Amino acid sequence: MADAEVIPIGTGGRPGRGSGRRTTPSAAARALAGSSSKRRRKPARAKAPEAPPEPVGVVPDAEDIPVLEAPAAFDFAGLERVVRELFGDEGERRVAEWLAFLRRRLSGSYEVDEFGYDADLTDQVLLPLLRPMAEKWFRVDVRGVENIPSDGGALIVANHSGTMPLDGLVTQLIVADHAHRPLRTLAADLVFQTPFVGELARKGGATLASNDDAERLLGRGDLVGVWPEGFKGIGKPFSERYKLQRFGRGGFVSAAMRTGVPIVPCSIVGAEEIYPLVGNIASLARLLGVPYIPITPFFPLLGPLGLIPLPSKWLIEFGEPIRTDDFPDGAADDPMLVFNVTDQVRETIQQTLYTLLMQRRSVFF
């Protein structure tokens, strides 16, 4: 071993073992240096200290609870202004009445009498629907409202015309608005046999045109309206307008006599012209079981448009009451006396119709 050649580290060596006198470390040296030397690294981001877990069941302090901002208050003043602009000065009252009506309907806090009359529905819905037609379309002029008794029973007897029974509905509205009393109307059997119409008629105050129902209503102090001409009155040709048909057998007079209530004649001018009846489809009417199928200048030619009534000018007059409480007992069973009173009522209405026709300037004005 003494003869061995010593090669100093870092100096030139034998060929093939780094004798190129390179000044940079070899790959092996770099590998050894990398494994032992410390490299410069980017400093790690400091982690936020974890919050200690909240104990279960502990309520946080009030100041730690986030405060939510309250929504802006509803602009009721703006709503009131809109209501006034749409409905006028009484807009607030009308809206309040409607809300109260809806509340009653939803809660069932309304009454229906033994005849099916729903006063709440009639006053709040049915009559308001008729009012624009009576006031703006027909422009009804009312006279003699003071002849309608302010209390107690009374029988209002009117002429019937117009192809469709709008005169009965308008009369009911006029009595409610001017006499401030509900008018219970007597309607034909066909009305109550018609789907939906019969139920609506009962809710609106109509009942069967029979002596029993009439006497019950009159006996308890109601205003009752009757149109004795019936279908013969509303279905008569336009050429016979304002000529009263037969008033039946006087059943309405006997009902008034038995209950001792006054009879108020009512004359209606203007209803004859709303649907001028110029013909009748009799065969189809018999097939459907109705009194007539009307033919007017506009129906059925114009289809549904022909059902719009013409805007004729209406005049309604209530005459002086005819008393029935002066008749002796059993007068209602005397056919001659009943016929005489019936004829008296009919002639009173007929003469008043002629007078009103002379006073009306024209059909539509």
Task: At 187, give phi and psi (nearest 5°).
Answer: -120, 160
Q: Tell me, what's the pLDDT at 66?
A: 52
Q: What is the pLDDT of residue 93?
A: 79
pLDDT the model gives residue 355: 97
pLDDT exceeds cutoff 80 at 63: no
Closest by CA position to 360, among listed 298, 236, 272, 255: 272
C-beta pairs of 241-247 under 8 Å, 24+ apart in sequence: 241/161, 241/272, 241/273, 242/159, 242/161, 242/269, 242/272, 242/353, 242/354, 242/357, 244/159, 244/346, 244/349, 244/350, 244/353, 247/342, 247/343, 247/345, 247/346
pLDDT given for residue 272 in this prediction: 96
Structural domains in the chain? 115-274+309-359 (3.40.1130.10)
What pTM was estimated for this model as a whole?
0.75
pLDDT tens column, 133-153: 999 999 999 999 999 999 999
- Residues 224 and 205: their CA atoms lie apart, in Å, by 10
Q: Looking at the predicted structure, is the pLDDT value of residue 28 above 60? A: no
Share of the chain above pLDDT 70, in %: 76
Three-state DSSP state, 190: helix
For residue 78, name the pLDDT band (cuts at 50, 70, 90): low
270 three-state secondary structure: coil
pLDDT tens digit string along 204-256?
A: 999 999 999 999 999 999 999 999 999 999 999 999 999 999 998 889 999 99
Least confident of 28-37, 83-92, 322-331: 28-37
In whole numbers, what is the pLDDT of the chain averaged over residues? 84
Residues 287 and 336: their CA atoms lie apart, in Å, by 39
Residue 57: the pLDDT is: 47
